[in-house]
Structure 1
Amino acid sequence: MGKILVLAEKPSVARDIGKVLKCNINGKSYLEGDKYVITWALGHLVTLADPDIYDINLKKWSMDTLPMLPKKMELTVIPKTAKHFGEVRKVMKRNDIDELILATDPAREGELVGRWIIEKVGFRKPIKRLWISSQTDKAIIDGFKRLKPGNDYLNLYQSAVCRAEADWLIGLNVTRALTCKYNAQLSAGRVQTPILSMIIEREEEIKRFKPKDYYIITGKTKDFKLQWQNKNGNSKIFDENFAKEVLMKVTGKSGKIIDVEENNRKQYSPALYDLTELQREANRIYGYSAKETLSIMQRLYENYKVLTYPRTDSRYISSDIVPTLPDRLKAVSFGQYGKIANGILKNKIVSHKGFVDDKKITDHHAIIPTEERMNISNLNNEERNIYNMVIKRFLSVMLPPFEYLQITIKAEVNGEIFTAKGKIVKSKGWKTVYDSDENLEENNEDKNAEGLKDQILPMIKKGDNISFVSVDLHKLQTKPPTRFNEATLLSAMENPQKYVQMDSELSKTLGETGGLGTVATRADIIEKLFNAFYIEKKGKEIIPTSKGRQLIDLVPDELKSPLLTAKWERELDLISKGKMDGNTFVDKMKQYAEKLVKIVKNSTDKYIHDNLTGNKCPVCGKHMLEVKSKTGRMLVCQDRECGHREMLSRFTNARCPECHKKLELRGQGEGQIYVCTNCHFKEKLSSFNKRFKENNHKADKRDVEKYIKKLREENETPINSALSDALSKLNLNS
C-alpha cells in the first residue's frame, strides 16, 4: 500500500503536522512516517513567468512592445528557491505516493501556493484538502478527520489565478508604460493607486481648509461645570460679539435646574478581532505597523499555536466552535485573567449573536485563543501585547454589558441654557477586563473634542438653585481633517466609500466587496507605498511625497478610483463560487490593460525629479535621488536598470543620553555618527557603543536564548509571495 503526501506552506507547519501524524524520519526536504510523507513550500515556489519568457524582445523595456498580452499565461519556478522546488518535486514524483493532501494556508492565496506547485510538477494523482484555522494538535487531528475533496476548492483556485493574472496584466503593463514614458521609476496597480489617491486627496483637503474662530462658554459652580448651548443643542458660537453678550448676561448670575434626565444605558463589548481591526488597534495603542502586527500574529499562530488563523475578515465565531470555548477559557486562565475566565466557566456560556453567528463567517472565524496553554513569559514584549489584546477581547464578549445611569442636567441662567453630563456606573460588566487599560476608548477623528464630558455630579433635582463661581469664554478654531496614520488608513481601505464621494449604489458595491485589498494583503500594500517612496511618515502621520503626487497626476483616472477594484473583487468572489467564468474576467483585464497603456502613451504630461542631488552614482555616473524610507534617508540612482543605492541615515532604537529621543545614525563605515534631531546631541558610533558596553552588564543567558529563538522563527516565515516577487524585479525603488 502506497503513502499519502501532505504539502504544507512552511517548514514550521510541516513539523506541527508531522508530530501529530508521527512522521519521525527527517529527509532533506520532507518528514516521513509509516503512512504519511510531509513536504513543504517556502511561500510561493512558483509564479507567473516574466514577459521575456513569451518574447525575448520584452526583456528590454520599451513603449513599442506594449501592451504585453500573452495568449496563455505560463508558470515559472522562482529562482531563489528553485533548489528547494527541485527537492519538493522529487518527493511528489515518488512512485509510492498514491494521493496528496493540500495543507497550505486556508485562503485564496494559500490555495494558489499549493496548486501552482502541483501544476508545475505535473502531479495527477487524487487530491484532498486540509482546511483548519489553528495549528494545535487537536485542530490538526480534527482537520484530518474531515478532509474535503480537492475538487471542492477548484473554483477558489480559479479565482486566485484570475487575481494573479489581472495583477500581472495591469501592474506590469502600466508600470512599464509609466516608466518608459516619463523616464522615471514609477509603478501603478489596481489597489495601491486608489489608496495613494485617497492619501493625496486628504492632503489637499487639509491645504484647502480655512480655520474659523469660534467660542464656547463654560460656567463653574462650586461642585461641577456646565456648558452653554443654544436651542438646537449646539455649543459653538461663531459670532464673537454674541458670545461676549452671553458672557456678560450670565456672569455672576444665579439660575435654576430646569431638567434632570436619567437614562439607564447598556454598552456591549466590541466584536471579536478580525485582522484589520487588530492591526488598527495595535497601531493606535502600540504604534505597530500593519506589517509588524501581521508578523507577530503569524508567530503566535504558527510557532506558539496560541491564536487561530490571523488572515480573517470575520469578527464572529461559528456555532461549532462554541463547545470548544471552555477549553479555550482554561488555556487563558492565568495571571490577571484567571479570576475572570474562571468566573465565566462557573456559569453557562451564553453564545449570543454578539459573537456567535454562522451567517457572518466566510472562510474563517474571528481571531481567538486556541486551547493551547503556554507560559506567557516565553513571549517577547510585542508578542505579549498582541496576545493580551486578543485574550481581552475574547473574554469581553462572554461577559455582561457595561451598565450605567446617564444623567443630563439642564439649567437656566438669566434666560440662557447650560447643560452638564454625569455617569453613575451600575455594573462594570465586560469593562472589568480593561480595568488597567487606559487605551480602551477608540480615537475618533471626527469626535467633537469640545463636547460635554462626563463628570461626577452631586445629588441634584429639578428646581434646585445654582450660582456660577466663574464664567469663562474659550476661543477655539475649527480643525482640518486629520492626516491618515496606519490605523485610519486601514479603516479607509476597509470602507473607502466613506472617504470618496459616490452615489449610493456604488457605495453599496464597495461595502459588499470588503473595500480595497483583503485582510491578507493590506499590510503589504501599505509597505509597497512606503518602499516605492510614494508616501513617508511624519511622526505617526502619513504624508505623500512629490513622487507620489506626480504619479497620481500621471496615471489614468479610472485607476485612481476604489470602485474599480471593488468590482473586480466582486467578480473574483463570483468566480470562487462558480458563478462566473474566469476566462471572461481575464479577457476583460487584457482589454483594460490595452486601454490604460494607450492613455499613458498619448499623455502630454511631464515628470520632474525634484529630489535630484549633486551626488553621482559610483556605478553609472548619473545623478542620484535623495529619498526617505520608513527606516531612514538614502540615495538611489535615478537609472532604473542601475538601481544602486546608499544609506545616508537610518532611524535606530538607541536613545539620546540627554533627551531620551530615538537617535539617527548617519554616514558610512568608520565615520558613522549618532545624531539627535531633537536636542542636536552628536557622538561617534564607536565611542557610543564603547560607552554603552561599559554601562551595561552582560545580557542574561535566557534573554539571549529568547532572542536567538525569535530570529530563528522569523526566518521560517514565508520567503516568497507571487506578485511581489515578480514586481521586485521591476526595481521600483526611487
Structure 2
Amino acid sequence: MKTLVLAEKPSVAKSLAQVLGASPVSRHAYENQQYVITWALGHLMTLKMPEDYRHEWQEWTFDTLPLLPKKMETKPLPKTRGQLKAIQQLTRRSDIGTAVIATDAGREGELVARWILAYCQFKRPVKRLWISSQTNKAVRDGFKQLRPVQEFDDLYAAATARATADWLVGLNVTRALTVKYQDNLAAGRVQTPTLGLIAQQEAKINQFKPQTYYELQLNTKAGTAKLATQKQLNLDQVTKIQAGLKGRSFQVTRCDTKKRRQKAPLPYDLTELQKDANLRYQFSAKKTLNLLQTLYEQYKVVSYPRTDSKYLSTDLKATMSERLAALGGYSVTARQLLAHQQTVQQKQVFNDQKVTDHYGLIPTEEMPPVARFSNDEQKIYQMIVDRFLGLFAADYQEEQRRYQLTAGQYQFHLTTAQVLVAGFKGDQVQSVVAPQWQVNTTVTGQLNYKKCLTKAPAPLSEATLLVQMDKFGLGTPATRAEIIEKLINSGLMLRQGQHLATTPKGQQLLKLVNPSLTTPALTAKWEQQLEAIAHGQLAAPQFIQQIKQETQGLVREIKQSQADYHDFNLTGKRCPDCNEPLREKATRQGVLLVCSNPNCHYKRWRDPKVTNHRCPQCHKKMIILTGTKGDYFKCTHCNLTQPVEQVKQQRKPNRHETQKLLKKINQDEEPQESALAQALKAAMQQK
C-alpha cells in the first residue's frame, strides 16, 4: 500500500518528491513505489456563503440579520476545483492505505488539509509531518517520526473556531453597516481594531501642542553634563542661571560606578524581523514575509518563517555546529568561530518551555546559494545570520560612571561609558577612554543653553504597528501582514512615506462601527481564547456560542445607531444615463467611477488607462477612454482615435493563437473514414 502525502504548495510538493525519490506522473502528483505526493494551492475549500445555507439569506436586508447557521459547512473554491478533483481521485485509489498531512506546520496549514480530507471523505489512517525547516535532513527525519493526526485535533479546532468567528463577525457586521448606510463598509474581527490603533495615534498627534523649553549644558573634557531639574526652563530662567554660574568651577560631589552586561539578542521571531526590516530597509510586512517564504521553501536556508518564538528547543544543541559550518563559505565571522571551535555562549536561548509550535528563526544546515539570492533576499538572510552568530559571541560589557557636578545650589549630571568587552557587538562600538574623576575633583567647562521643542508622538509605521498588534494579540505572526495589506487595499488606510494613516473612509467607518470593535481589548480576548483551544484548555463550541451572542449584540447596536453618514467616495461628477452622482471605486487596474444608483450599471475609468496598443501613426502607446459609443483608443501625441471593437477585429492573432488555429485546421484536414469503411464496420458489429 502507498502513502498519500498532501503538501500545501506545488513548490513544497516538488521538494518533498526530490527527497523521497518520487517522479512526476501527472500535472497533479509525483509518485514512486511508496508515496503519492500531491498538493493544495493554499485553501481549496472555504466556508459556505449565506446564500448557500438559505435562499432568503442572499438578500442584504436587516430582516435576515444576524446570520447564524446552526452548523458551519464548507464548499470548494471555484477557481481551484481542478486540483481538488485530482486530490479526490487520488484518495479513492485502492492502493492508498494512509495519508500524511504535510501542509504548513501551523493553525492555518492544519485547516487547509483537514477540510480537503473531509471533503474527500478520506476514512483511512492519517499522520502528521511536523517540521520546522525544509532541508533534506529535516524532511527525512520528519518522515521517520510522523505523528498521529489526533495530536493536532485541538489545533484544528482552534483553526475552525477562528474561521467561524471571522465569518460570524465579519459578514454580519459588514452586511449590517452596508444595509444601514447603503455603501460598501467592510469591518472585521481583527482588521477594525487594527485600524483603530492607527486612528488613536493620529488623535494623539492632532491633540498635541508643542512647547518650547531650554536646556543648560556644561561642556567638559569628559563629555556634556546637563543641569538637573524637575521642570522645563524658559529663556529668562536659563539665562539667569547661566549668568549666576559664569566663571565658576564645579566640584565632583558624587561618582557612581556600575558595570553593565548585555547579552546578545535572541533569534528573530516573525514579528520582530518584520519590524526591523521595515525600520532598516522600509520593507512592508508582506514583503518581508514573502522574502522569508522564498528563503524557506525555495532555498531551504532558514527555519519555519511563521513563528512566534525567539527560543530554541534543547534538541537543537547538537545541530548548532553543523549550522555554523554551513555558513563557513558565507561569513568571515562564522569561519573565525569555526577555527576557534566556539560553542553557543548564550545558553538561555535553549528553553523548551518557551518554544511554541516552532522555534526561532535561524539558518539551516544548507549552504546558502548566495549567487542566486536577490538583493532583498540577501538583506533578510543577513539579518537572520547576524542574530544567529551573536549566540556564539560573549556578552557586551561596559563600565558606566555617573558624576554629579555641583556649583552652589545647582547640580549637573554626566554619564560616561567605557567598553570592557565588545562581545557580540564587535566593531559596532568604539571604546572611548574618558577622564576618570574622583570625588572632590575640580572641573571646569563651557556653559551654554540649547533651545528644545517638545515632540509630538510619531505616526505609526508598519514596524510600530506590528509591535502594537503583537502587544494586544491582534492576529498572529502569520496573518498580520495580510491584515495590513487588506486595510490598504480596501481604502481604509494608506501609506504616507514610511508611515500609515487612516483615510476619510476609514475614519468614517470607525465612527459607524460598534465601539467594542474599534479597540483591541475584545479581539485580544478572542485570540487568547483561540490559543486556549489550541492547547486543549477551552472547548471550541463554548467559544463559538459566545461569538454568536456577541454577534447578535453587534448587529443590534448597528440597527439602533443614530450616527450620521457621509459617503467620502461620492464625487461631483454625474452619471450621463441617470444624472446620479458617480462613486469612486478602487481596483487593481485603477479607479473606476461607478453610478451610485443601484439600478444603473454605468461605469468608466476615472483616469485614462495607458494600454499596450500602439498608435498606427507615431507608434506610441495609446490610452483607452469611454465615450457615448463605447470604449475607444486615443493617442495623446497625435490625437488619433480608434474604436476598441474595430481594433479587435483588425488585430492579428498572436503566436499562441496561431498555433492553436493551425492545430485545429490540421485536425479538420485529417482523412475521415469513407462511407464504405463505415458500412463494413457496422456489418462486422452485427455478426
1:115 maps to: 114
Give the direction of change, closer, same or farther, for the CA distance of 1:581–1:618 in structure 2 (3 Å limit).
farther
Between the aligned partners of 2:415 and 2:458, the Cα distance in structure 1 is 28
TM-score, length-normalised on structure 2?
0.84
Q: What residue in structure 2 maps to residue 670 of structure 1? A: 622
CA contact (8 A) 2:608 2:623 kept: no
Q: 1:466 aligns with which of 437, 443, 447?
A: 443
Most deviating of 100-109 and 346-355: 346-355
Number of the residue aligned with 2:233: 238
- Of 536, 540, 549, which aligns to 1:578? 536
| Equivalent residue, structure 2, for 1:677 | none
In the TM superposition, what is the alpha-carbon distance from 1:190 to its structure 2 partner?
A: 1.4
Q: Which has the higher contact order (CA 8 A, sep 6+)?
A: 1
Distance in 2 (alpha carbons) for counterparts of 1:546 and 1:396: 46
- Contact 1:421/1:455, CA 8 A, preserved across alignment: no
Q: How many residues align?
A: 616
Report the more deviating stretch, 532-541 or 163-172: 532-541
Provide the residue aligned with 1:500 in structure 2: none
Corresponding residue for 1:446? none
AA matched with 1:541: H
Task: Give 1:44's aligned residue.
Answer: 43
Alignment of 1:181-580 (within 5 A): 181-221=180-220, 224-230=223-229, 234=230, 237-335=232-330, 337-343=331-337, 346-347=340-341, 349-350=343-344, 352-432=346-426, 457-469=434-446, 471-496=447-472, 515-580=473-538
Deviation by residue 1:640-691 (Cα, 9 ceiling, x = unmatched): 98796847599xxxxxxxxxxxxxxxxx96369xxxxxxxxxxx999xxxxx
- 1:501-555 alpha-carbon deviations (Å, 9 max, x no partner): xxxxxxxxxxxxxx11111111111111111111112221111111111111111
Deviation at residue 429 of structure 1 after TM alignment = 0.6
| Contact 1:611 1:626 (8 Å CA) reproduced | yes
C-alpha change, 1:243 and 1:139, in structure 2 (3 Å) is same
Paired with 2:602 and 2:558, the residues of 1 have a C-alpha distance of 24
Residues 276, 242 of structure 1: alpha-carbon distance in 2 compared, 3 angstrom cutoff: same
Aligned to 2:155, the other structure's residue is in SS state helix
In the alignment, the residues of structure 1 paired with residue 636 and residue 354 of structure 2 have an alpha-carbon distance, to the nearest angstrom, of: 54
CA distance in 2, matches of 1:618, 1:81: 40
Deviations 1:222-260 (A, max 9, x none): 664322113xxx5x5234432222111123332233334
Alpha-carbon contact 1:105-1:111 (below 8 Å) kept: yes
Three-state SS of the structure 2 residue aligned to 1:217 is strand
Q: 3-state DSSP class of the match of 1:238?
A: coil
Letter in 1 for 2:497: G
Tell which structure's C-alpha radius of gyration is larger: 2
Deviation at 1:425, TM superposition (A): 1.4
Amino acid at match of 1:637: V
- 1:637 is aligned to 594
The letter for the 2-side match of 1:533 is G
Shift in alpha-carbon separation, 1:459–1:71, aligned structure 2, 3 A: closer
Offset at 1:203?
1.1
- 1:163-200 per-residue CA deviation (whole Å, 9 max, x = no partner) reads 11111011001101101110111111111111111211
Partner Cα distance (2:414, 2:391) in 1? 32
Q: Answer yes or no: is the 8 Å Cα contact 1:616–1:623 preserved in 2.
A: yes
Secondary structure of 1:194's counterpart equals: helix
Residues 1:628 and 1:118: Cα distance change in structure 2 (over 3 Å): closer
C-alpha distance in 2 between matches for 1:351 and 1:357: 14
Structure 1: unaligned runs, 5 residues or longer: 437-453, 497-514, 651-667, 673-683, 687-734
Are the equivalent residues in 2 in contact too, given 1:396–1:433 (CA < 8 A)? no
SS of the equivalent of 1:473 reads strand
Q: Structure 1 pair 378/647, CA: closer, same or farther in 2 (3 Å)?
A: farther
With over 3 angstroms needed to count, the CA separation of the structure-2 counterparts of 1:619 and 1:45, relative to structure 1, is farther
Which residue of structure 1 lines up, in the alignment, with residue 87 of structure 2? 88
Identify which range, 248-257 or 348-357, moves more after superposition: 348-357
1:539 and 1:362 mapped to 2: Cα distance? 35
Distance 1:602 1:459, change over 3 A: closer
Which deviations, in whole Å up to 9, do the C-alpha atoms of 1:671-721 show, x marking residues without a partner? 69xxxxxxxxxxx999xxxxxxxxxxxxxxxxxxxxxxxxxxxxxxxxxxx
Structure 1 residue matching 2:194: 3-state secondary structure:
helix
Distance 1:622 1:205, change over 3 A: same
Which letter maps to 1:406? Q
Give the alignment's TM-score, normalised by structure 1.
Answer: 0.79
Distance in 2, matches of 1:274 and 1:391, equals 13
Task: Report what 2:662 is aligned to.
Answer: none
Deviation at 1:218, TM superposition (A): 1.2
Are the aligned partners of 2:344 and 2:391 in contact in 1 as well (CA < 8 Å)?
no
Note the alpha carbon deviations across 1:115-163, whole angstroms, 9 max, x for none.
Answer: 0000111111110000001100000001011100111112211111111
SS in 2 for 1:670: strand
Contact 2:299 2:369 in 1 (8 A): no
8 Å CA contact 1:368, 1:391 repeated in 2: yes
> C-alpha offsets along residues 299-349 of structure 1, whole Å, 9 cap, x if unaligned?
0000010000000000000000110101111111234x2334542563452
Q: 1:82 to 1:621 in 2, by over 3 A?
A: farther
Q: Report the residue type matching 2:15 in the other structure.
A: D
Equivalent residues in 2 for 1:646-657, closer than 5 Å: 646=605, 648=607
Deviation of 1:582 after TM superposition, in Å, equals: 1.9
| AA in 1 matched with 2:565 | Y
Residues 647/169 of structure 1: CA separation in 2 closer, same or farther (3 Å cut): same
Q: Is the 8 A contact 1:200 1:549 kept in 2?
A: yes
Which residue identity lines up with residue 166 of structure 2 in the other structure?
Answer: D
Match of 1:71 in 2: 70
Shift in alpha-carbon separation, 1:625–1:244, aligned structure 2, 3 A: farther
Describe the shift of the 1:634–1:217 C-alpha distance in structure 2 as closer, same or farther (beyond 3 A): farther
Letter in 2 for 1:480: A
Could you tell me whether the CA contact under 8 Å between 1:634 and 1:649 is conserved in 2?
no
Q: Deviations over 1:402-423 (max 9, x none)?
A: 1112122332234422222222
Give the whole-Å Cα distance in 2 for the aligned partners of 1:83 and 1:468: 80
1:165 is matched with 164
Structure 1: distance between partners of 2:369 and 2:577: 52
Are 2:396 and 2:423, in contact at CA under 8 Å, matched by a contact in 1? Answer: yes
CA distance in 2 between counterparts of 1:255 and 1:271 reads 44
Residue aligned with 1:495, SS: helix
Counterpart CA distance in 1 for 2:604 and 2:153 is 44
What CA distance in whole angstroms lies between the structure 2 residues aligned with 1:533 and 1:25? Answer: 43
Computed over aligned residues only, the root mean square deviation of the Cα atoms, in angstroms, reads: 2.8
What secondary structure does 1:411 align onto?
strand
Equivalent residues of 2:223, 2:416 under 8 A apart: no
- Please say if residues 623 and 638 of structure 1, whose CA atoms lie closer than 8 Å, have aligned partners that are also in contact: yes
**Shift in alpha-carbon separation, 1:385–1:348, aligned structure 2, 3 A:** closer
Post-superposition offset of 1:611: 4.2
Say if 1:566 and 1:610 are closer, same or farther in 2 by CA, change over 3 A.
closer
Q: Which runs of 5+ in 2 are unaligned?
A: 610-619, 625-634, 638-687
Deviations 1:24-79 (A, max 9, x none): 24322000011100000000000101111112232232222211111121211101
Match of 1:138 in 2: 137
